[in-house]
Amino acid sequence: MLALRGRLRQERAAFQRLFSEWASLDAVKISGSNPAQAYNLVNGEWHLPKKSKPLIDPFNGEDFMKIPDPQVDEIQPYVESLRKVPKTGLHNPLKNPERYNLMGDVSFNAARELHKPEVADFFAQLVKRLSPKSYAQAMLEVTVTRRFLENFGGDSVRWHARSFGVSGDHAGQESHGYRWPYGPVGLITPFNFPLEIPALQLMGALFMGNKPLAHVDHRVSLVFEYFIRMLHHCGLPKTDVDFIHGNGRVVGELLTQAQPRSILFTGSGKVAEKLAEDFRGKVFLEDAGFDWKILGPDVADVDYVAWQCDQDAYACSGQKCSAQSMLFVHENWAKAGIEDKLKQRAAMRNMKDETIGPVITWTTKAMLDHAQNLQKLPGSKLLFGGKELSGHSIPECYGAIEPTAVFVPLKEILKDEESFKLATTEVFGPLQVVTHYTDAELPLVLEATERMNAHLTAAIVSNDIIFNHKVLGHTVNGTTYVGRRGRTTGAPQNHWFGPAGDPRAAGIGTPEAIRLVWSCHREIIHDFGPAPTDLSALKPN
**Residues identified as active-site:** 286, 321
| Angstrom distance (rounded) from CA 144 to CA 124 | 12
- For residue 393, the cross-strand partners are none
- For residue 283, the cross-strand partners are 263
326: left (phi over 0), alpha (psi -120 to 50) or beta: beta
Is the distance from CB of 356 to CB of 389 less than 8 angstroms? yes
CA atoms within 13 A on the CB side of 498: 28
| Angstrom distance (rounded) from CA 449 to CA 459 | 12
| Angstrom distance (rounded) from CA 329 to CA 32 | 48
Do the bridges between strand 52-56 and strand 63-68 make them parallel or antiparallel, or are there none, so unpaired?
A: antiparallel
| Angstrom distance (rounded) from CA 159 to CA 517 | 17
Is the Cα dihedral 494, 136, 427, 213 positive or negative?
negative
The identity of residue 227, as a single letter, is F
| Angstrom distance (rounded) from CA 423 to CA 180 | 43
Helix (H) or strand (E) holding 140: helix 135-151
Q: H helices of 37-75, where?
A: none
Is the distance from CB of 347 to CB of 388 less than 8 angstroms? no
- For residue 216, the cross-strand partners are 189
Is the distance from CB of 35 to CB of 65 less than 8 angstroms? yes
Nearest Cα residue to 123 out of 131, 112, 132, 114: 114
- For residue 178, the cross-strand partners are 522
CB count within 10 Å of CB 378 equals 10
CA atoms within 13 A on the CB side of 78: 34
Q: How far apart are the first and last CA of the chain?
A: 58
